[in-house]
Structures are given as structure tokens and as C-alpha cells.
Amino acid sequence: MHVLQVVGARPNFMKVAPVMAAFEPHGVRQTLVHTGQHYDQKMSDIFFKQLDIPLPDVSLGIGSGSHAVQTARVMERFEEVVLEKSPDLVCVYGDINSTAAAALVCAKLRIPVAHVEAGLRSFDREMPEETNRVITDHISDWLFTPSEDGDANLLREGINSSRIVRIGNVMIDTLMRLLPRAEMPTIDGLAEQYILVTLHRPSNVDQPEQLANILTALDEISQQAQIVFPVHPRTRARMADAGFESSSRILLTEPCGYLNFLALQKHAQAVITDSGGIQEETTVLNVPCLTVRENTERPITVEVGTNIVVGNDFDRLQKEVNSALTGDFKAGHIPPLWDGRAAERLAAFVVANVATESEACQLVA
């Protein structure tokens, strides 16, 4: 069996790592394709090394661009790879443009596609990621879901239950495997107690008024506890435009490698974020998470875990931070099947249920 793995951004790396490892004992041949949708050589090299992922067999070098430009470039260049490699299955991950583009290429070529992390919905079509999720789910052959709500969303959209396989959360496989190796980064002036912040979504950082409101709220919160803020380059540029500067109360740092950031999450008093993956990781780490968005495609982190969606209610954000600092935050639990073995379940299912090209030929004969 030949499985082609497609990644395009750092969150995909955390998801593909355990899946590639889980296929190895089955003798599955794998080809790793990096579309380069988001690419920073320094950070990408760190992630590949820390996650024990082999360097990509194929790099498409897509680069930045509008959603249409990125999607079109991936489709054009990825089609050539698929035709050359003739895989038995293509695995796509998450909800970025590369995910939908690769799935669409395979659907037209009738090459089986597995969508890992299927079924998630924010029900907000203003999010480009929501469009990618819906498209990818409806044209993929196998839908590997992380939680019960994913199954329910797919069934409600009319997808046959035979295509839906709940395996758990492969990104949590990576977290559990690497947590013992997580090491705090060296940050000058880092206090023993701190709030960790990450922001990257355009709805938060590309809107000057919204960004100003968030930064004002963070400044007020920093009166109670130090804030550590690893800043995405694009976010840093927007903050500079707003005249925001680092201080002893708000430490702006460079983006971290996976192991360093995992340690920062683990030891934080609370995390303020707009990242879906961090909502999941904080739930497993049992760290209070406050999501600065009006919705989440990961409701299980709210229903079961430690996440609270505060939206643009910055008074509530302040209130919930106070609860976290005083130990009065809501209790959370780890969702079912988030046990570090999701990738093993995926690999076992694929080996048992996906025919190789040679097997398909024998069946036809």
C-alpha cells in the first residue's frame, strides 16, 4: 500500500507525525508532500526535527497569496504529483486551503481521500476554514472524526455513516508522546505565574479596532499577572502599526518551537487564544482556556474541557482570568478517545479497509 500524506502548515505537522508513525509497523509506503502554503524555513525545520517527521519527499513551494491563488496553485502542482506517484490513498489534514485543494484534485482523479479531523463545524461561513472543512468532508471517501459532535455534523449534512470513522484526536497523540520532552524556553524576565496569549486570526489581528480592543484588555489583565505573548510575524506587524510595545508586564517573544510552546501552555495560569488546536491542547493539559472568538469548531472543549468562548466580551474575559488566577475556574475532563492512540486506530482501519491498486485489479479480474 502506498499512502500519500499532504501537509501545508505547522498545525498539520502535529497531526501527520503520529499517523506516519502508526503506518510504519504495517509496512505501508508513504510519501510526504509539503505544499508550502505556510512556510518559514527556521520554524519548519524545528518542527520536523522535534516531531520526528522525515523531511518532505515533495515540496510544492506554493507560498503566500489570496485564497483563490493558493488553492489554484496547490491543485495545479499537486495533480502532477498524484499522477506520478499513483497512491492508493491520500491523507489530508485539518482545514487549510491545501487540504481542500488536494482533496478536490483526488476527487476528480478518483483517488481515495481520507480527511483526518473531519466533521468539525463553527457554523460561520465567514471563516475561510469553514468552507474548506465542508468541501473536504463532502468529497472525501473516509472521514476520520475526533469526537462525537463531528459524527453528528456529518450525518446531519447527509453523509453516509459508512464513511465516518471516529478515531479520536491525532494531535493529542503528539502531545502525549512529546509532553515528557517539553522544556521551558529561556525568556528574560519570565515570572513564575503568567498568562499565555496567542492571536493570529484575521478577524482579530487585521481589524484595527478589534485589535485595539484586545490589546487594551490584555494591558488591563497584565496588571494582575504577567502576559507572555509569542507573536506571529503578521500579528507583530499589526501591533506595531497600532503602536503597541513590549514591557515587563507583557513579554512579546518570537514564535516558539513545539516543545517550548507545549511547556509554556502546561505551566500557564491560563491561555488566551483564537487557535482551535490550542483549545484542544489546553483541555488535555487541564489549563483554563479563554477563546477570543464568537464561535468554535471544537465545542467539545467547551462542553467537556477547560475552554470558554468569550467572544468580544472583554469584561467577561477579565472575569474569567480572575477565576483562573484564584483557582475558581470550571473543571474539565479529557474527551473520549483522546488517549494518544488515535493514529493507531486510523492506520488499522486503513490497512483493513482500503484496497491497494493491485488488490483492486485482482477484484476486477
Within a domain: residue 333? no
Q: What is the CATH number of the domain that holds 134?
A: 3.40.50.2000
Are 156 and 218 members of one domain?
no
Are 49 and 149 members of one domain?
yes
Within a domain: residue 215? yes
Please enumerate in sequence order all residues whose Cβ is within 8 A of that of 304, keeping only pairs 6 or more positions apart, or say none. Answer: 283, 332, 333, 334, 335
**Residue with the larger pLDDT of the pair 278 and 357:** 278
Whether the pLDDT of residue 243 is over 90: the answer is no
Number of domains in the chain: 2
Overall size of the chain counted in residues: 365
Q: What is the pLDDT of residue 38?
A: 73
Are 213 and 169 members of one domain?
no
Are 282 and 174 members of one domain?
no
The average pLDDT across 126-139 equals 96
**Where residue 46 falls among pLDDT bands split at 50, 70, 90?**
confident
C-alpha cell at 81: 504529483
- How far apart CA 303 and CA 296 sit, in angstroms, is 11
Are 172 and 192 members of one domain?
no
Q: Is the Cβ–Cβ distance between 289 and 210 less than 8 Å?
A: no
Q: Is the Cβ–Cβ distance between 146 and 168 less than 8 Å?
A: yes
**Where residue 361 falls among pLDDT bands split at 50, 70, 90?**
very low
Share of the chain above pLDDT 70, in %: 96
Phi, psi of 363 (to 5 degrees): -65, -40
Are 173 and 224 members of one domain?
no
Share of the chain above pLDDT 90, in %: 83
232 carries an active-site annotation: no
Beta strands 194-197; 289-291: pairing state: unpaired
The range of the structural domain enclosing residue 54 comes to: 2-179+338-364
Average pLDDT, the chain: 93
Are 217 and 319 members of one domain?
yes
Are 27 and 126 members of one domain?
yes
**Where residue 37 falls among pLDDT bands split at 50, 70, 90?**
confident
- How far apart CA 114 and CA 198 sit, in angstroms, is 30
Within a domain: residue 149? yes
How confident is the model over 147-169, as pLDDT tens digits? Answer: 999 999 999 999 999 999 999 99
pTM over 0.85: yes
Q: What is the pLDDT of residue 284?
A: 98
Furthest-apart CA atoms within the chain: distance in Å: 73
How confident is the model over 67-122, as pLDDT tens digits? Answer: 999 999 999 999 999 999 999 999 999 999 999 999 999 999 999 999 999 999 99
Within a domain: residue 331? no
Q: What is the pLDDT of residue 40?
A: 66
Are 68 and 89 members of one domain?
yes
C-alpha cell at 77: 502542482
Q: What is the pLDDT of residue 42?
A: 60
Are 156 and 196 members of one domain?
no
Within a domain: residue 199? yes
Are 175 and 196 members of one domain?
no
How confident is the model over 194-229, as pLDDT tens digits? Answer: 999 999 888 899 999 999 999 999 999 999 999 999
Please enumerate in sequence order all residues whose Cβ is within 8 A of that of 48, keeping only pairs 6 or more positions apart, or say none. Answer: 13, 54, 55
Q: What is the pLDDT of residue 282?
A: 98
State the catalytic residue, choosing from 200, 232, 267, 333: 200
- How far apart CA 115 and CA 249 sit, in angstroms, is 42
Q: What is the pLDDT of residue 363?
A: 43
Quickly tell me which residue has 486570526 as its cell. Answer: 201
